[in-house]
Structure 1
Amino acid sequence: NILYYTNIYFISMQWASGDSSVPASVCSLPCQTGERKKVVKGVLCCWHCERCEGYHYQASEFTCQLCPYEQRPDQNRTGCQPIPIIKLEWHSPWAVAPIFIAILGILATTFVVVTFVRHNDTPIVRASGREMSYVLLTGIFLCYVTTFPMIAAPGLAVCSFRRIFLGLGMCFSYAALLTKTNRIHRIFEQGKRSVAAPRFISPASQLVITFSLISVQLMGVFVWFVADPPHTIVDYGEQRTQDPENARGVLKCDISDLSLICSLGYSILLMVTCTVYAIKTRGVPETFNEAKPIGFTMYTTCIIWLAFIPIFFGTAQSAERMYIQTATLTVSLSLSASVSLGMLYMPKVYIIILHPEQNVPKCKRSFKAIVTAATMTNKLSQLASERPNGEVKTELCESVDNSSEYRCLLYHNHCLRYTYIHLFI
């Protein structure tokens, strides 16, 4: 009877939870997988279940431990597993756009080189300085090619190519442009003082100066190779997110931001110096020896690299850092090469192919006549005033070989602010 009435009593009882079933007669329930027991102070048989958070896993019944740096907890948090390693893939949207631009640039550069080679002895090709043009086109080509090792999967060979090509294309381009602008500046400055030609303006001298500037970049790369041989690293900190499930290791070459600055720094120094000379030579006759196109090229290029700096270094803390920085660097290289190619060579190719009648020499006066004319400014002015409607025809020295180029420069320099006035037309 006692048992009968006891059962009726328990059945009729209502618990605080609203459930009529009898609660378990224990202080604490067993913890689930991935949870540790946190013992209640003073009550050894009671505990609270605490989940192992972050990069911790359940090492024992009562402890959580941190996984090694290159690992993360597994799904049950009972152990650790390697963090997945990623790299920039060829099919990634961050890679497709730079590759597309680079391929177009390579095709355009090849087309210009082929056109110049086929018309190598024409006046417009000679006037642009054939030797320096080919050096500059080589630099433009290398700027485009740099995109591919920057996107390729890091390895010993790829990391080596990255170090070599990273600043080499820009160095070729701006060493050639700096040599050309410096030559124009020296010729005009010398022409203001005397009719004697300045030193080191021959094609051979220009090549020696250019490759001397390039050798500084190559020497720096060689020292870099010796001091720190190229190798790959896995950066687990770049994408080490709060949620271990999203953590990734980034496979990359051992090129730090400081190394990148040093590699590009010399080329940027050449670019800035070339811009200074472009400003100094902005007053030469229009389109003479590419002085003004070089100026516009350098101004635009400076804007591109000024935009590159905040984008590249401003994304250092972004989870997409690898993708943004690689895309920004490759696109900046391609754009700077495209500016040089478009402003300096596309107009020449246009004339060579579509308007061959304009591809003729335009400066045929003898050196003696030029020097004589330099002392007859007043007489030339009188002759000019006698022209109908006061018109004075001008002609630019843009299609002459190197031997006559300096003579035309002197004529420009001494005759009415470097302007030709036809005496016998």
Structure 2
Amino acid sequence: MGVNVGSAGVPVTFNENGDAPGHYDIYQYQVKDNSTRAYSVIGEWANKLNLNIRTMQWPSGSRQVPVSICSLPCKPGERKKIVKGIPCCWHCELCDGYQYQVDKYNCKVCHFDMRPNENHTGCRQIPIVKLEWYSPWAVAPVFFAIIGIIATLFVVVTFIRYNDTPIVKALGRELSYVLLTGIFLCYAITFLMIAEPDVAICSMRRIFLGLGMSISYAALLTKTNRIYRIFEQGKKSVSAPRFISPASQLMITFSFISVQLLGVCIWFIADPPHSYIDYDDQKTANPKLARGILKCDISDLSLICLLGYSMLLMVTCTVYAIKTRGVPETFNEAKPIGFTMYTTCIVWLAFIPIFFGTAQSAEKVSTAPLNAFTPCRKDKNCV
């Protein structure tokens, strides 16, 4: 087959679309010798673009190729945001907050227990922290708890030594020992609250957190009720009221305490205790400060419900303390009990709104002292 030749002696060819291939010269309007202006050939098109960059001129007479403002490569952790209507032009947008770069054009939020790495190109585990024994937030309560335990044991030893003396008998030895047991548990719970949460620790917290106060208030309630019934009965007859013997007093006290234990048992069945990691409490705006806190599954509402029975005993005891405020001066046990219950009510009335206000405050996350915690070791089943 022959080849067709044009009038200029050049072979005539066609591309796959049936079009004749083009050949173009590319010109640029340039300034020469600071005065002469003319078009100069800077390249050609013959199936592909060929430019002679060294012969091209740019504004201000520069020979350096300018950088396109819409085609700069994005840094790690930045996504390309395409300019509307210009597919080849984009802006670099940082993946901020808890986002990381998925691909060139998209960012994605890390999983709830993760935070982005330094350049936001991936995610890593949020550090797990817990209260340590050497933290100032733990040393101070432990110090006062130890002092309280020593003082309580000193009183117990004193009572045992003088167990058969008239003064100890007049105080009601049996209920006094019950009351001292409750006070001891109130101090001892400090160590359970600082210990590393696990199933055993969380279980003991549920049992003993409200038990100490229930024992104390049950003993005080039984005492004040006994005093009230004795003087009320004395106004009517000379016979002694029922259930004022030491054995009866212990039975009444233990019946009050058993209600607290029954409630805890029901709680155990309905919601078995366990520890968990709270990632929301310390999830700050700055991912670098985010922490997961190892906790027991006792919510603020559950804590108030756990202590609610103790508060009921306390209020009832206060009512009886008010009723017995007019007893003779020689019966000096009622007045200190009344004074104790009045001050306790004031403390509780201040504690409840402060506790819930702190728990619901939006500033809790930003102001929590993270230096009171240290990372929890992996071998302690923290995650």
TM-score (norm 1): 0.71
Q: Deviations over 1:51-92 (max 9, x none)?
A: 001111000011001111111111111111111111122222
Structure 1 residue 87 corresponds to structure 2 residue 130 = yes
Q: 2:215 aligns with which of 152, 169, 172?
A: 172
Structure 1 residue 319 corresponds to structure 2 residue 362 = no
Contact kept? 1:230, 1:253, Cα under 8 Å? yes
Q: Give the letter aligned to residue 83 of structure 2.
A: V
Q: 2:194 aligns with which of 141, 151, 159?
A: 151
Change (3 A) 1:255 1:287: farther
SS at match of 1:146: helix
Distance 2:366 2:243 in 1: 49
**Pairwise mapping of residues 295-306 of structure 1 onto structure 2 (< 5 A)?**
295-306=338-349
SS at match of 1:87: strand
Distance 1:151 1:193 in 2: 53
Q: 2:105 aligns with which of 30, 49, 62?
A: 62
Distance 1:321 1:122 in 2: 55
Q: Which has the higher strand share?
A: 2
How many residue pairs were aligned? Answer: 320
- Aligned residues: CA RMSD: 2.5
Gaps of 5+ in 2: 1-29, 35-53, 373-383
TM-score (norm 2): 0.79
Moved beyond 6 Å, runs of 4+: 6-9, 320-324
Q: Give the letter aligned to residue 145 of structure 1.
A: A
Query: 1:321 Cα deviation (Å)?
Result: 8.4
Q: Indicate the residue corresponding to 1:224 in structure 2.
A: 267
**Pairwise mapping of residues 14-93 of structure 1 onto structure 2 (< 5 A)?**
22-25=65-68, 27-93=70-136
Query: 1:22 Cα deviation (Å)?
Result: 4.8
Query: 1:310 Cα deviation (Å)?
Result: 2.3
Q: Deviations over 1:278-317 (max 9, x none)?
A: 0110111236261111011111111221221122111113
Distance 1:158 1:76 in 2: 39
Q: 2:315 aligns with which of 272, 276, 293?
A: 272
Q: Indicate the residue corresponding to 2:143 in structure 1.
A: 100
Q: Deviations over 1:158-202 (max 9, x none)?
A: 101100011000000000000000000001000001001110000
Q: Which has the higher contact order (CA 8 A, sep 6+)?
A: 1
**Pairwise mapping of residues 199-214 of structure 1 onto structure 2 (< 5 A)?**
199-214=242-257
Q: Indicate the residue corresponding to 1:188 in structure 2.
A: 231
Contact kept? 1:287, 1:293, Cα under 8 Å? no
Q: Deviations over 1:373-407 (max 9, x none)?
A: xxxxxxxxxxxxxxxxxxxxxxxxxxxxxxxxxxx
Query: 1:26 Cα deviation (Å)?
Result: 6.3
Q: 2:60 aligns with which of 7, 10, 13?
A: 13
Gaps of 5+ in 1: 327-425
Query: 1:323 Cα deviation (Å)?
Result: 7.5
- Percent identity, aligned pairs only, is 70
Contact kept? 1:167, 1:267, Cα under 8 Å? yes
Structure showing greater radius of gyration is 2
Query: 1:227 Cα deviation (Å)?
Result: 1.0
Q: Deviations over 1:22-66 (max 9, x none)?
A: 522563200001000001112111100000011110000110011
Q: Indicate the residue corresponding to 2:182 in structure 1.
A: 139
Distance 2:353 2:147 in 1: 27
Query: 1:262 Cα deviation (Å)?
Result: 1.2
Structure 1 residue 246 corresponds to structure 2 residue 289 = yes
Distance 1:54 1:14 in 2: 44
Contact kept? 1:240, 1:247, Cα under 8 Å? yes
Q: Which has the higher helix share?
A: 1
Distance 2:369 2:211 in 1: 22
